A and B are shown apart, each in its own frame.
Chain A
Amino acid sequence: MLTTVVSPDVRSPGSIDDAVRQLTDLGADAMPLAGGTWIMRAGLRGETPRRCYVSLDRIAELRRYSVGDVVELGAQLTHRDLTSITTGPAATALRQAAALSAFPQVRNVATLAGNIAATGFAAADLVPALLAGQAEVELAGPEGPHRTTLASYLTSRDQRPSGELITAVRLPAPPGRFSAFERLTVRVGGEYAVANVAVSVDVDAGGSVHDARIAVGAVEPVATLGPARALIGHPVGDDDAAQAAGEAVAAGLTPREDPDAPGWYRVAVVPTLVRRAVAQLPQLIDH
């Protein structure tokens, strides 16, 4: 007995336009299918499957990417793909998150947009890395293409319109931006994180942080940006500033409770993860 209901219909359009058309026609009965590692476990989560899934697997343009002052990443790139796309220190957190997430068998299949769009997936690893990096999502839908910040997409994720799908993610990579990712798991490899943290900073010529963002996942139901002001004005990698920022971020979190970890514990480890992420940053600058 396998773990998913096998009756839903799957369509496999060859273009974004066709996928949007099919998703729009099917309405709430359908949703996009990327790698499937989340949707194939819907039954395990007690969810009722949709009547139809629209696979994005045959849409080659969703695997495109380009690097530059903005890194443009196709929705269907896998975690493994992300680890091999060289995109500089602004994307270090994203590469690290992609490399640390799950197992090779899942990283080879699970996609960038799937990690963002999976509802109920609090421990997604790519999401904090993208949030801290001020990522935007490119969307296709019946009204045509449009773009929004990842932060606003996440807060409206449960009410997105039928027919919409993520086509790409834009990650700004300006000069002087550095980022790092840390996660805590109960075992070393593979598990969902108790908490995952990404730090992204903009550093001036003198080595001082002039802007910063900290994102935390797995603690609340959806990853969020926390206050990073304590890092600003300090040398990059400053441990006291990192501790202060980590405490400020932790103080703003309302943790979820589940069998994997009590909420207080998820919050308690956040300052240490922030310190570890900040401690990585000077090494990135040296390289």
Chain B
Amino acid sequence: MSYSFTLNGQTVEATTPGLTPLLTVLRDQHGLQGAKLGCGEGRCGSCTVLVDDQPVAACLFPVANVAGRAVRTVEGLAAPGAPLTPVQDALLDHGGVQCGACIPGVVMTLTALLESEPAVDAATAKEALTGNICRCTGYVKIVEAAVAASGRGDQA
């Protein structure tokens, strides 16, 4: 079967069985390797992408259900050489990135949060991040970055 959807703003077709995970389509057919296969069961958040602006676990999302929807991945946030987004800048500035495996998922979760919430406090950021596991940072710097990025977003 063939499924049409927009991927980072461009219309694409995925010709693949309908139960194929969206993550497989992104990584193997489109070369977008930011979203990672971590646990493969929707618990770790390393495969987080946005579908119609909401974070989803791409490892559990059947490609059949993405037809007609808008998918955004970390690769679509800032073009190569272009300025990073406030979320990406804040994670770098606050030392929120260590090994980096979880970060594409964290960035997409926080991008969706900042798009829907004008002012993010630490509690809101923690709640939003309950589905993103990081085994390096202890989360404090990621949460600080989220709060700081929220402030920057207001000024932008």
Q: Check B18 against A105 for contact (C-beta < 8 Å).
A: no
Chain A residues near B75 (CB, 8 Å)?
none
Q: Write the chain A residue with the least CB distance to B17.
A: A6
B128 touching A104 by the CB < 8 A rule? yes
B42 contacts A37, C-beta separation under 8 Å: yes
Total A-B Cβ pairs within 8 A = 116
Task: Let me know if A41 and B60 touch, CB within 8 A.
Answer: yes
- Which single residue of chain A is at the shortest CB-CB distance from B19? A8
User: Is there contact, CB below 8 Å, between A36 and B62?
Assistant: yes
A9, B18: Cβ atoms closer than 8 Å? yes
CA distance A106 to B42 in the complex (A): 7
Q: Is the CB of A40 within 8 A of B18?
A: no
Residues of chain A within 8 A of B41, CB atoms compared: 3, 41, 44
> Does B40 have its Cβ within 8 Å of any Cβ on chain A?
yes
SS class, residues of chain A in contact with chain B: loop
Contacts of B64 in A (CB 8 A): 10, 12, 33, 53, 55, 57
| B85 contact set on A, CB distance < 8 A | none
Residues of B within 8 A of A53 (CB): 18-19, 62, 64
Tell me the chain B residues, 48-94 only, with Cβ under 8 Å from chain A: 48, 51, 54-57, 59-62, 64-65, 67-68
Mostly helix, strand, loop or mixed at chain B's interface? Answer: mixed
A16-53 contact mask (Cβ, 8 Å, vs B): 1 or 0: 00000000000000000101110111001000010001
Whole-angstrom distance between the alpha carbons of A109 and B57 in the complex?
9
On chain B, the residues within 8 Å of A12 by CB distance are 18, 64, 67
B57's contact among A11, A80, A106, A189, by CB below 8 Å, is which? A106
Q: Does A66 contact B (CB under 8 A)?
A: no
Q: Which residues of A contact B60 (CB under 8 A)?
A: 36-37, 40-41, 106, 109
Assess whether B23 is interfacial by the CB under 8 Å rule. yes
Complex: chain B residue closest to A106, CB-CB? B42
Contact, CB under 8 Å: B131 / A103: yes
- Chain A residues with CB below 8 A from B16, complex form: 6
Give chain B's interface residues, CB within 8 Å of chain A: 1, 16-21, 23-24, 37, 40-43, 45, 48, 51, 54-57, 59-62, 64-65, 67-68, 109, 128, 130-131
Apart from the given pairs A58-B67, A103-B130, A105-B48, 11 other A-B contacts in the complex at a CB distance below 8 Å:
A3-B41, A9-B18, A12-B18, A40-B21, A40-B62, A55-B62, A80-B54, A104-B128, A105-B56, A109-B51, A109-B60
Q: Which residues of A contact B (CB under 8 A)?
A: 2-12, 33, 35-37, 39-41, 44, 49, 53, 55, 57-58, 80, 102-106, 108-109, 189-190
Q: Which 4 residue pairs of A and B lie closest in terms of their CB atoms, listed nearest first? A: A10-B18, A103-B131, A3-B40, A189-B130
